[in-house]
Amino acid sequence: MNTISPLEQALHAARALVLADLVAGDVAEADVVSLVEDSIVQRRWWVEQWPDGADYVAGLVAQDVQDALLERYGRWPLCPACGSGDPHALDIEPELGPDPHWVCHKAGVKVAAVGDLASATGGAPSS
Ligand SMILES: [Zn+2]
User: Which pLDDT belongs to residue 1?
Assistant: 61
Q: What's the 7 CA to ligand 1 centre distance in angstroms?
A: 33
Helix (H, G, I), strand (E, B) or coil at 44: helix
Contact 53, 102 (CB under 8 A): no
Residue 91 pairs in a beta bridge with: 103
Residue 66 lies in a domain: yes
Kindly give, in sequence order, each residue whose CB lies less than 8 Å from that of residue 109, ignoring residues fewer than 6 positions away.
81, 103
Residue 1 domain-assigned?
A: no
How remote is the CA of residue 36 from the centroid of ligand 1, in Å? 24
Q: Is 102 a member of any domain?
A: yes
Considering the domain boundaries, does residue 52 fall inside one?
Answer: yes
Task: Count structural domains, the chain.
Answer: 1
Q: For residue 101, what pLDDT band results from cuts at 50, 70 and 90?
A: very high
59 inside domain: yes
Above pLDDT 70, what percent of the chain?
94
CA of 101 to the centre of ligand 1 (A): 14
Residue 66: the pLDDT is 96
Q: What is the residue range of 18's domain?
A: 6-121
Residue 72 lies in a domain: yes
The answer on pLDDT for 32 being more than 80 is yes
Whether 127 is covered by a domain: the verdict is no
Q: How far apart (Å, rounded) are the C-alpha atoms in residues 106 and 11?
A: 30
Measured in angstroms, how far is the CA atom of residue 100 from the centroid of ligand 1?
17
Task: Name the residues around ion ligand 1, CB cutoff 5 A.
Answer: 79, 81-82, 104, 106-107
- Within 10 angstroms of residue 86's Cβ, the number of other Cβ atoms is 7
